[in-house]
Amino acid sequence: MDRQLWTALMRRMKKFLSRRYELVLQIGCVLLIISVILLLYLWFVGVV
The pLDDT, as a whole number, for residue 1 is 59
pLDDT of residue 30: 97
| pLDDT digits (tens), the chain, 48 positions | 589 999 999 999 899 888 888 999 999 999 999 999 999 999 999 987
Say how many domains are in the chain.
1
Helices (H), 1-48: 3-47
Residue 45 has a pLDDT of 93
State how far the alpha carbon of 45 is from the alpha carbons of 1, 35, 41, in Å: 64, 15, 6
pLDDT of residue 47: 84
Where b means 16+ CB within 10 Å and e means fewer, 19-46 reads eeeeeeeeeeeeeeeeeeeeeeeeeeee
Q: Which domain holds residue 19?
A: 1-48
In three-state secondary structure terms, 46 is: helix
